[in-house]
């Protein structure tokens, strides 16, 4: 007998048992998979940052055996997970082999992408994807059907690892030849391969990458890895699947490749012209070194973060050009940051259509929906607002100039990692500002774009139209 003297039927008995059973870890995991994609991304992202901050805070993570200050450990963990490369301590001299390995693993996880990591965690715990994750991952990877997401995720892991392996094979023999020792050469080759493809920009050597200025055996493999990683997995997958039929490439792939090529040409010509005679950068080198260094410098603001030139010694014009390229960033769904190449391209196309008096934005024989243009404008305004706020706070907190603080804020928001050299000199509160920039810069544009797309709706009743004066 049960309460009120009612004998439970089999169905009622199962209901009583279900109600009495306490939720286990699988229930909690399942409830997490049913969370909104944005919350899931934030949760996984924050969890990873916490784990790697704790690991980098261990005495074993430093060469001296002393604990790294919490703000510096947190800064490094966020920079590694966000694949940024900004550092408050010298990577090559401060961190031990254990610490460098922790950073390398963090870069790998961060490069795979937030949604990829979240989905893989869900697969490992529940052996299946939640619908919310399938939807957002399909948007991120541009999968044509939700059922393809699992296969796309496996392809992403295999493809990224393959590119890193190729870069590792290209760099390791060169490291051996340059007398780094076999063991260290293997480690440096792997570290640089992961750091380059994931656009992280961390350098494990005390001498930095300035030692490789004009060296084709280092700059070409690293530059190509950064460039491929900045294109984005949606573009890489399209190229791999339809390499021989470019006409069948998606609009996103063609727009990303075309805009990236144009930005690389602009960057190469700009850096070559403005640094050619600068005695502090390229002025005292031969023509071949100048051309290779200018090409390398044009690729790095995509979000690579490596530099064979002293950024602090660049001309003001070169730094301004770098600011623009860092703000634009790389491709959607890539390891790069910024507002993304497609966002920039859509904004330029909409301006061109307005100048020509064309009511539609068209490219490659396709018409771009107006809601997509509005999403691009939303990402631009929110990103510019974040950079403005961060620059304002840095100016209030530090004695550095507008040029320097704007550069650091853009580098953090674009997850680039280039620096004028002031990052280690910042007070703790200014470091927190850059941490927020890296966090929002990695999550913000992707999450905001997805949120705007989800909220897009058709209204049956509209207000009367009236034009205000513009200009």
pLDDT in tens, 19-66: 445 555 445 544 544 445 556 667 778 889 999 999 999 999 999 999
In the predicted structure, residue 466 carries a pLDDT above the cut 90? no
What's the CA gap between 381 and 400, in Å, rounded? 26
Higher-confidence residue of 32 and 354: namely 354
What's the CA gap between 409 and 397, in Å, rounded? 13
User: What pLDDT, on the 0 to 100 scale, is given for residue 236?
Assistant: 84
- Do the Cβ atoms of 159 and 297 come closer than 8 Å? no
Q: What is the DSSP string of 28-48?
A: HHHHHHTS-HHHHHHHHHHHH
What's the CA gap between 213 and 179, in Å, rounded? 18
Q: Could you tell me which of 312, 333, 332 has the C-alpha nearest to residue 322?
A: 312
φ, ψ at 95 (rounded to 5°):
-90, 140
Higher-confidence residue of 258 and 2: namely 258
User: What does pTM read for this prediction?
Assistant: 0.83
Q: What is the DSSP string of 131-175?
A: HHHHHHHHHHHT-SSGGGHHHHHHHHHHHHHHHHHHHHHHHHHHH
State the average pLDDT over residues 278-302: 94
- Do the Cβ atoms of 300 and 199 come closer than 8 Å? no
Q: Could you tell me which of 217, 215, 210 has the C-alpha nearest to residue 308?
A: 210
Give strand pairing partners of 368: 361
Return the domain boundaries, the chain.
Answer: 35-455
């Amino acid at each position: 007998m049960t309460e009120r003297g009612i004998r439970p039927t089999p169905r009622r008995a199962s209901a009583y048992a279900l109600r009495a059973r306490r939720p286990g870890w699988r229930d909690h995991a399942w409830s997490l998979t049913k969370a909104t994609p944005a919350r899931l991304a934030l949760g996984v992202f924050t969890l990873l940052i916490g784990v790697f901050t704790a690991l980098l805070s261990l005495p074993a993570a430093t060469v001296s055996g002393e604990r790294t200050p919490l703000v510096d450990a947190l800064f490094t963990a966020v920079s590694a997970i966000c694949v940024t490369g900004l550092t408050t301590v010298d990577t090559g001299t401060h961190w031990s082999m254990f610490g460098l390995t922790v950073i390398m693993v963090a870069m790998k996880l961060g490069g795979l992408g937030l949604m990829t990591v979240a989905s893989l965690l869900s697969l490992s715990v529940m052996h299946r994807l939640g619908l919310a994750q399938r939807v957002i991952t399909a948007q991120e990877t541009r999968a044509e059907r939700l059922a393809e997401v699992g296969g796309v995720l496996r392809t992403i892991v295999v493809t990224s690892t393959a590119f890193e392996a190729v870069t590792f094979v290209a760099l390791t023999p060169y490291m051996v030849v340059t007398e780094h020792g076999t063991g260290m050469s293997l480690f440096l080759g792997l570290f640089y391969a992961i750091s380059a493809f994931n656009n992280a920009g961390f350098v494990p050597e005390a001498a930095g990458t300035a030692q490789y200025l004009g060296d084709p055996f280092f700059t070409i493999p690293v530059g190509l890895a950064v460039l491929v990683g900045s294109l984005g997995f949606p573009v890489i997958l399209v190229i791999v699947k339809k390499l021989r039929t470019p006409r069948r490439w998606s609009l996103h792939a063609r727009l990303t490749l075309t805009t990236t090529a144009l930005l690389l040409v602009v960057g190469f010509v700009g850096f070559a012209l403005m640094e050619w005679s600068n005695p502090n950068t390229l002025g005292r080198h031969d023509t071949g070194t100048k051309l290779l260094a200018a090409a390398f410098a044009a690729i790095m603001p995509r979000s690579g973060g490596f530099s064979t030139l002293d950024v602090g010694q660049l001309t003001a014009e070169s730094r301004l050009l770098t600011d623009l390229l860092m703000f634009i960033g790389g491709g959607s769904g890539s390891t790069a940051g910024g507002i993304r190449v497609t966002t920039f391209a859509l904004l330029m196309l909409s301006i061109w259509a307005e100048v020509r008096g064309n009511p539609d934005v068209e490219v490659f024989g396709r018409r771009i929906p107006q809601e997509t243009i509005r999403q691009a404008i939303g990402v631009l305004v929110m990103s510019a607002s974040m950079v403005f706020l961060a620059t304002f706070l840095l100016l209030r907190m530090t004695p550095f100039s507008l040029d320097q603080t704007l550069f650091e804020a853009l580098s953090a928001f674009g997850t680039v990692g280039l620096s004028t050299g002031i990052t280690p000199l910042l007070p703790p509160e200014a470091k927190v500002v850059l941490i927020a920039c890296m966090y929002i810069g990695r999550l913000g544009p992707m999450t905001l774009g997805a949120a705007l797309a989800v909220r897009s709706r058709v209204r049956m009743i509209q207000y009367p139209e009236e034009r205000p004066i513009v200009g």
